[in-house]
Amino acid sequence: MRANDAGGGFASARALLAYPEFYKVAVSLSGNHDQRAYLLVWGPTYQGTDDAAELEKASNVSLAGNLRGKLLLMHGELDDNVHPALTMRLADALIAAGKDFECLILPGEDHMLTRGSLPYVHRKTFDYFVRHLLGTGLDAVG
């Protein structure tokens, strides 16, 4: 898989799961974490063949056991592009692997966050990185 061929939510989680010794913190928004349940043409077009073994290798779900860093999964409840079930698949695999992570479902939001949650998502993302990379966060400031 070439990193520039993946969606942002997929790629941020992928970096943390594929290279746990390097990446320490990631926020994944609306990630298409398992190409087998996404658009039929996306995986084969951007991530290789439609061979089952290749799709398994391109799945973040199969790498869930590698998590060492801090991961925040966020997804719009009514995502009209990447179904929230793709994030739930990754969450389920992380739970099965006994990994700690955070998950936030954005009520009523679509893929582009047009309902108005974008400022909240930006604040949560900023706070997550500050808290886990610098050891403090917005809640510590007041």
CB atoms inside a 10 Å sphere around CB 79: 22
The per-residue pLDDT string of the chain (142 residues; one tens digit each, 9 = 90 and over) reads 333 345 889 999 999 999 999 999 999 999 999 877 665 555 555 555 666 677 777 789 999 999 999 999 999 999 988 999 999 999 999 999 999 999 999 999 999 999 999 999 999 999 999 999 998 766 554 4
Residue type, 55: L
Alpha helix locations (H) across 22-74? 42-47, 52-57
- Residue of 104, 111, 95 whose CA lies nearest to 127: 104
Q: Residue 31: enclosing H or E segment and its boundaries?
A: none
Q: What tokens does 2 get?
A: 């070439």
pTM comes to 0.85
